[in-house]
C-alpha cells in the first residue's frame, strides 16, 4: 500500500529488523487505517470524493455523482446559468455510506432502501448481505436477481434498491415492484443458463437478460429473436439453444397474459412435423432456409412477409397449420406463434417420433 511505502521509505525487511516494522505500524495505526479506507476502490473512494473525507459540510455534496469540482466553472450548474440558483446538500454522516452497502468484495454493491424504520432498514440489509455472500455466482447482477428470488421472508412489498458499481462514477437506482418480484420468483428453477460472447465489451447472459426484463416489466421478444439467430452461429449447440428458446416463448406468453398456449403447442408440433416431412421429401436443406427467412422477417417486424413464408411452406409440404389462423388475425400480438414455429424447424431423424 502507498501509505506503508511512505512510512517505511526504502527500509527492507531482512529478518532482523522486525521490531522497526511492528513499531512503525503500531505508531501510525490510525493513519494507515484511514488511508487504506480512504483510497480503497471498494471502500470510501467508490462512494465519495476521497479528498473530502472527515470534512465538515461542503459547498457541494461529497457523494460520487453529486460532487462538483469547484475549481472548474460552475455557472452552468444552476438554472439559466445562474450560479446562485444552484443548491446542494452535504453532511458529515455521508462518510459512513460505504457501511450501508452490501458485500464490499463485489464490484457492484447494493442498498435496500426500505426506510420504514432504522430497525427494518438494518435487518433487511443484514439478511440481504448474508444471502449475497452465500450465493455462488460470478456476475454481481445475477447474484442480485437470485437473492431477490429468495427474499420473500424479508421483502414482501415494493422497494427501492440503490446500487454502486466500481466501474461507474455515480449511483444507480431501480424500483422493485412486488408484482414483478412474484414473476421473478416464478422463474426460480427454470434453466436459463446460456452465455455467449458478442464482442470484447459485451457478453450475452440469458439468465441476466430475462431477470432484468422481468423486474423492469419488459417482454422477451428481442431476447427470443436473438436466441433464434444464435441457432445459425458456427459451433452452435442447436438442441440446447432450441430448448432455451422454447422456454423463453412460454414465459413470454404467460407475461403477456395471452390465452394461446394451445396454439403455441400446435405451432411447435407443426414445426416438428414440417421438418420431418421435408426430410422425407429429401429437402432437408429447406429447413434452415425457411427458418432463416421467417426469423429475418420477424426481426424486421415484417409480419406480412412472415405470413407469406409460412403459407408458402404450408403449400410446399402439403400440410395445414392450425395455429396460422390465430397468427393471421393479429400477427403482432401473436408473434410468439411464429417464434414457436420457427424454433421447432430443426433437422430431426425421420425415425424420431
Note whether residue 55 is domain-resident. Answer: yes
- 3-class DSSP assignment, residue 217: coil
Note whether residue 20 is domain-resident. Answer: yes
315 and 231, same structural domain? yes
84 and 17, same structural domain? yes
The pLDDT, as a whole number, for residue 350 is: 46
271 and 225, same structural domain? yes
Q: 2 pLDDT exceeds 90?
A: no
80 and 54, same structural domain? yes
265 and 234, same structural domain? yes
The pLDDT, as a whole number, for residue 10 is: 81
The rounded distance, in Å, linking the Cα atoms of 198 and 123 is 40
237 and 309, same structural domain? yes
Nearest to 252 by CA among 339, 316, 318: 339
Q: Which of 51, 69, 94 is the last residue of a domain?
A: 94
Q: Which of 44, 75, 94 is the last residue of a domain?
A: 94
Q: Which of 168, 186, 204 is the last residue of a domain?
A: 186
Half-sphere exposure of 293 (CA within 13 A, CB side): 16
How many structural domains comprise the chain? 3
Note whether residue 272 is domain-resident. Answer: yes
Q: Which residues contact 76 (CB under 8 A, 6 or more apart)?
A: none
| DSSP code, position 157 | S
The pLDDT, as a whole number, for residue 189 is: 79
Note whether residue 195 is domain-resident. Answer: no
106 and 88, same structural domain? no
Per-residue pLDDT, averaged over 336-347, amounts to: 93
The pLDDT, as a whole number, for residue 348 is: 64
Note whether residue 68 is domain-resident. Answer: yes
254 and 162, same structural domain? no
Range of the domain at 169: 101-186
333 and 231, same structural domain? yes
Number of H helices and E strands in the chain, helices first, is 15, 5
269 and 178, same structural domain? no
Note whether residue 225 is domain-resident. Answer: yes
- 3-class DSSP assignment, residue 163: strand
Q: 303 pLDDT exceeds 90?
A: yes
The rounded distance, in Å, linking the Cα atoms of 153 and 105 is 25
Note whether residue 207 is domain-resident. Answer: no
Residues 202-260: tens digit of each pLDDT: 888 898 899 889 988 899 999 999 999 999 887 878 888 999 999 999 999 999 988 89
338 and 241, same structural domain? yes
Handedness of CA 310, 311, 317, 322 (dihedral sign): positive
79 and 115, same structural domain? no
Note whether residue 351 is domain-resident. Answer: no
Amino acid at each position: 500500500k502507498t501509505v506503508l511505502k511512505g512510512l517505511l521509505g526504502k527500509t527492507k525487511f531482512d529478518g532482523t529488523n522486525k521490531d522497526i516494522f511492528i513499531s512503525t505500524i503500531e505508531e501510525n495505526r490510525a493513519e494507515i487505517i484511514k488511508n487504506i479506507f480512504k483510497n480503497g476502490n471498494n471502500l470510501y473512494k467508490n462512494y465519495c470524493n476521497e479528498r473530502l473525507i472527515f470534512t465538515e459540510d461542503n459547498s457541494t455534496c461529497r457523494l460520487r455523482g453529486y460532487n462538483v469540482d469547484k475549481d472548474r466553472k460552475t455557472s452552468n450548474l444552476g438554472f439559466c446559468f445562474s450560479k446562485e440558483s444552484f443548491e446542494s446538500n452535504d453532511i458529515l454522516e455521508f462518510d459512513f455510506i460505504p457501511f450501508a452497502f452490501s458485500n464490499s468484495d463485489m464490484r457492484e454493491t447494493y442498498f435496500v432502501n426500505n426506510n420504514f424504520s432504522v430497525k427494518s432498514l438494518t435487518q433487511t440489509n443484514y439478511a440481504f448481505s448474508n444471502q449475497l455472500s452465500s450465493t455462488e455466482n460470478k456476475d454481481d447482477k445475477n447474484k442480485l436477481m437470485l437473492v431477490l428470488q429468495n427474499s420473500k421472508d424479508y421483502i414482501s412489498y415494493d422497494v427501492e434498491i440503490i446500487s454502486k458499481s466500481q466501474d461507474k462514477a455515480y449511483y444507480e437506482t431501480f424500483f422493485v415492484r412486488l408484482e414483478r418480484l412474484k414473476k421473478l420468483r416464478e422463474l426460480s428453477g427454470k434453466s436459463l443458463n446460456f452465455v455467449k460472447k458478442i464482442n470484447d465489451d459485451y457478453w450475452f447472459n440469458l439468465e441476466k437478460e430475462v431477470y432484468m426484463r422481468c423486474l423492469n416489466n419488459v417482454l422477451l421478444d428481442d431476447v427470443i429473436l436473438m436466441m433464434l439467430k444464435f441457432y445459425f452461429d458456427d459451433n452452435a449447440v442447436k438442441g440446447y439453444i432450441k430448448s432455451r428458446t422454447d422456454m423463453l416463448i412460454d414465459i413470454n406468453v404467460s407475461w403477456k397474459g395471452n390465452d394461446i398456449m394451445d396454439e403455441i403447442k400446435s405451432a411447435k408440433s407443426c414445426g416438428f412435423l414440417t421438418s420431418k416431412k421435408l426430410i422425407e421429401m429429401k429437402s432437408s436443406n429447406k429447413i434452415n432456409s425457411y427458418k432463416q427467412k421467417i426469423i429475418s422477417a420477424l426481426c424486421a417486424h415484417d409480419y406480412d412477409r412472415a405470413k407469406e413464408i409460412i403459407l408458402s411452406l404450408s403449400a410446399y409440404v402439403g400440410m395445414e397449420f392450425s395455429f396460422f389462423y390465430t397468427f393471421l388475425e393479429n400477427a403482432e400480438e401473436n408473434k410468439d406463434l411464429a417464434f414457436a414455429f420457427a424454433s421447432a424447424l430443426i433437422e430431426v431423424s425421420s425415425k424420431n417420433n
